[in-house]
Chains A and B, each alone.
Chain A
Amino acid sequence: MAFLEIRNLMKSFGNVDVLKGINIEIEEGGFLVLVGPSGCGKSTLLNTIAGLEAITSGDISIGGRSVAGLHPSKRDIAMVFQSYALYPNMTVAQNIGFGMEIRGIGQTDRDKAIADVSELLQIGHLLDRKPSQLSGGQRQRVAMGRALVREPQVFLFDEPLSNLDAKLRVDMRTEIKRLHQRMGTTIVYVTHDQIEAMTLATKIAVLKDGILQQFGSPAEIYNDPANMFVADFMGSPSMNLIPARIETEGNGVAVVISKRGGGEAVRLPVENANGLTAHAGADVIFGIRPEALTDPDGADRTGGGLVNAVCPIEVVEPAGSDTFAVTHLGDIEVTARLRADAAIEPGREETLTFNMTKAVFFDPKTESRIA
């Protein structure tokens, strides 16, 4: 039985439909990340879980109890906002203790809880300061402290790290992960940073225009994207989505990709072609991640399915740990990820290895996955 369950959730502002039938469920102690481009409805979804926005239809339940219609303070949730939303006129200690004060918890119990949380987050020395006297990272910690002290059933985070600089963001990400492992409380976390999503989540929900595109574990989302949007959105650099054609070859099929300037097409035979045979003769979008397109020596030999092809290399970008090479296939730029010391030069035709076991295929019209 799922702990947090969102069933057929719809939300409209006036006649604008923002969420269009969302179904998500997550087990107790899970870490659900909502990702999607700006304006897709992530914050709205989070706010409906928090009870800050009323839902138009559908249901939300936490721990088997429907919370639709319950006041935010009665849902046993705590929220960390993007702007931290610390009360500017109160000290750190008062900020953390405000909820308890409202609920009528006595001063001594309050002080004890504040001390515990501030020790956990190492903000004990800041308790008498006002939010304006804190750095961004310290504010972030205080905001988390205010959420932690409630000991809720579900934590809600709305892009908590987006106001921090890159280094601090990575540190805080690790810290959030550590806190989650330590407390085991269910978390719903909004971000539009797909790396945050991949590293933190036990389940990811990808949203676009208020529609749930895919819901699954990070590995499922990454390796088995349901459509071109998810494939393109998750991963950095993003998946190469190359227009191609399926042709029969022997008793299997091959992916045929035209080269720039009408040179000889690249033919990539597919061994386990069960899903693809039905599409023989059809145009498809061939999706392959940069790390599945390598120099022959750097290819992953464990799974088989390796096919070599000669491709024109246009640009080579050494990035320290890897070298990225840009080639041109099927009229789009395609990124390959090579070993750092791969001998490759721009302007030449080089042999690249396609790991066809990692390839995915989409219908160019509907953009959904076909194999």
Chain B
Amino acid sequence: MSQPSADVAVQTNRLVRIAIYTALIVLAVYYLLPFYVMVVNSLKPLDEIREGDMLALPRQWTIAPWLSAWSTAQIGVEPTGLRPYFMNSIFMVVPAVALSTILGALNGYVLTKWRFPGHNLVFGMMLLACFIPFQIVLIPMARVLGILGLAGTTWGLVLVHTVYGLGFTTLFFRNYYEAFPTELVRAAQIDGASFFQIFRRILLPSSGPIIVVTVIWQFTNVWNDFLFGASFADVDSVPMTVALNNLVSSSTGVKEYNVHFAGAILAALPTLIVYVVSGRYFVRGLMAGAVKG
């Protein structure tokens, strides 16, 4: 019946689409440009960078800067490359993420399904923990680590990040479990399941999306942290971010920009991988929380 107007609708629709895609492509290029510069320059010999054209592709491709950044570059005073620090970061991140996620899940479980008088107050205080700036806790934390004998160790950093992350992980899990049907918990209680049995058999199997969200969040935050690493780490617990800084700001010799670029990419790689692998769940998990919560 209204053939012409349908045509117009299709046409405007197409125009709008073109506009949207153009905008998206421009923005994507804009955001990807720095990454492109880093990748391109990490694969060039230093002379080519000195010529000044940061955007040019390498004339002579080389992976030497990557090898150097990984295993031979001067970090502070030691020519070890970033490798040992990468491992330091892994040994710090994995337990910190695992602990804060598990504890956050337990907190969320208790705060929603085993309510006690004052549960809201406790939750409020945990929320507040999300807003405490890093700088404020530095000195008290240093003191606590000292008392515990964990100063300068990887486990000390694990503790700091677990405690600091707990506010966020609790928030995530609480909001997720708030929407989890309490009747399921009650049914399991009547079936005789204990506190931990209910958690493990009933809640955890349904927690996939929120676990992914929490792990990504914690992984990126802990991996990327600089301040705690710089403040609390000792020689053998220095994390990647701090080492990268030491690499770039080493005062001796020439500035090997190509090695710096390679090092920076190495430092960013794990978070990048985590996002690429599970980013889809991240968005889905956030949406699920938003709709249900």
Q: B188 → chain A, closest Cβ, in Å? A: 7
With A82-B183, A85-B181, A85-B183 as contacts: A50 and B192 at CB distance below 8 Å: no
B188, A98: Cβ atoms under 8 Å? Answer: yes
A83, B181: Cβ atoms under 8 Å? Answer: yes
B192, A85: Cβ atoms under 8 Å? Answer: no
Q: A79 → chain B, closest Cβ, in Å? A: 5
Q: B262 → chain A, closest Cβ, in Å? A: 45
B191, A98: Cβ atoms under 8 Å? Answer: yes
Q: Mark B181-205, 1 if CB is under 8 A from A, else 0.
A: 1011011111111000100011001
Stretch binding the partner chain, chosen from A70-78, A215-223, A228-236, A294-302: A70-78
Q: How many Å lie between the Cα of A128 and that of B181 in the bound state?
A: 23
B188 — which chain A residues lie within 8 A by C-beta? 87, 98
Asked if B206 CB lies within 8 Å of chain A CBs, one says yes
Q: A319 → chain B, closest Cβ, in Å? A: 38
B187, A81: Cβ atoms under 8 Å? Answer: yes
- Interface residue from B190, B192, B202 paired with A87 (Cβ < 8 Å): B202
Number of A residues, CB within 8 Å of B: 21
- Name B256-281 residues within 8 Å CB distance of A: none
Q: Which residue of A lies closest to B202 (CB)?
A: A87
Asked if A16 CB lies within 8 Å of chain B CBs, one says no
Q: A143 → chain B, closest Cβ, in Å? A: 9
Q: How many Å lie between the Cα of A276 and that of B159 in the bound state?
A: 81
B189, A73: Cβ atoms under 8 Å? Answer: yes
Q: B212 → chain A, closest Cβ, in Å? A: 16
A52, B184: Cβ atoms under 8 Å? Answer: no
A85, B189: Cβ atoms under 8 Å? Answer: no
- Name A57-80 residues within 8 Å CB distance of B: 71-73, 77-79
A87, B184: Cβ atoms under 8 Å? Answer: yes
Q: How many Å lie between the Cα of A50 and that of B202 in the bound state?
A: 20
- Name B170-229 residues within 8 Å CB distance of A: 181, 183-184, 186-193, 197, 201-202, 205-206
Q: Which residue of A lies closest to B194 (CB)?
A: A102
Main secondary structure of the interface of B (DSSP, over half): helix
Asked if A108 CB lies within 8 Å of chain B CBs, one says no
B190, A77: Cβ atoms under 8 Å? Answer: yes
With A88-B206, A89-B205, A89-B206 as contacts: A103 and B183 at CB distance below 8 Å: no
B191 — which chain A residues lie within 8 A by C-beta? 73, 98-99, 102, 146
A103, B187: Cβ atoms under 8 Å? Answer: no
Q: How many Å lie between the Cα of A72 and that of B202 in the bound state?
A: 17
Q: How many Å lie between the Cα of A262 and that of B88 in the bound state?
A: 96
Q: How many Å lie between the Cα of A81 and that of B186 in the bound state?
A: 9
Q: Which residue of A lies closest to B203 (CB)?
A: A89
A98 — which chain B residues lie within 8 A by C-beta? 188, 191, 193, 201
- Interface residue from B181, B186, B192, B205 paired with A102 (Cβ < 8 Å): B192
Q: B201 → chain A, closest Cβ, in Å? A: 8
B184 — which chain A residues lie within 8 A by C-beta? 85, 87-88
B205 — which chain A residues lie within 8 A by C-beta? 88-89
B206, A52: Cβ atoms under 8 Å? Answer: no
A79, B187: Cβ atoms under 8 Å? Answer: yes
A77 — which chain B residues lie within 8 A by C-beta? 190
Q: A48 → chain B, closest Cβ, in Å? A: 13
B201 — which chain A residues lie within 8 A by C-beta? 87, 98
B187 — which chain A residues lie within 8 A by C-beta? 79, 81, 85, 87, 146
Q: How many Å lie between the Cα of A76 and that of B241 in the bound state?
A: 59
A52, B186: Cβ atoms under 8 Å? Answer: yes
B197 — which chain A residues lie within 8 A by C-beta? 102
Q: B89 → chain A, closest Cβ, in Å? A: 34
Q: Which residue of B lies closest to A147 (CB)?
A: B190
Q: Which residue of B lies closest to A101 (CB)?
A: B191
Q: Which residue of A lies closest to B189 (CB)?
A: A72
Q: How many Å lie between the Cα of A79 and that of B181 in the bound state?
A: 16
- Interface residue from B192, B202, B206 paired with A99 (Cβ < 8 Å): B192
Q: Which residue of B lies closest to A52 (CB)?
A: B186
Q: How many Å lie between the Cα of A83 and that of B179 in the bound state?
A: 14
Q: Which residue of A lies closest to B185 (CB)?
A: A85
Q: Which residue of B lies closest to A100 (CB)?
A: B191
Q: Which residue of B lies closest to A143 (CB)?
A: B187
Q: Mark A246-276, 1 if CB is under 8 A from B, else 0.
A: 0000000000000000000000000000000
B186 — which chain A residues lie within 8 A by C-beta? 47, 50, 52, 72, 79, 81, 85
- Interface residue from B183, B192, B193, B206 paired with A81 (Cβ < 8 Å): B183
Q: How many Å lie between the Cα of A47 and that of B185 in the bound state?
A: 13
11 further contact pairs, Cβ within 8 A, besides A52-B189, A72-B186, A82-B183:
A73-B192, A79-B190, A81-B186, A85-B181, A85-B184, A85-B186, A85-B187, A87-B201, A98-B191, A99-B192, A103-B192
15 pairs of residues in contact across A and B, judged by CB atoms under 8 Å? A71-B189, A72-B189, A78-B190, A82-B183, A83-B181, A83-B183, A85-B187, A87-B187, A87-B202, A88-B206, A89-B206, A98-B188, A98-B191, A102-B192, A102-B193
Q: Chain B: residues with CB nearer than 8 A to chain A?
A: 181, 183-184, 186-193, 197, 201-202, 205-206
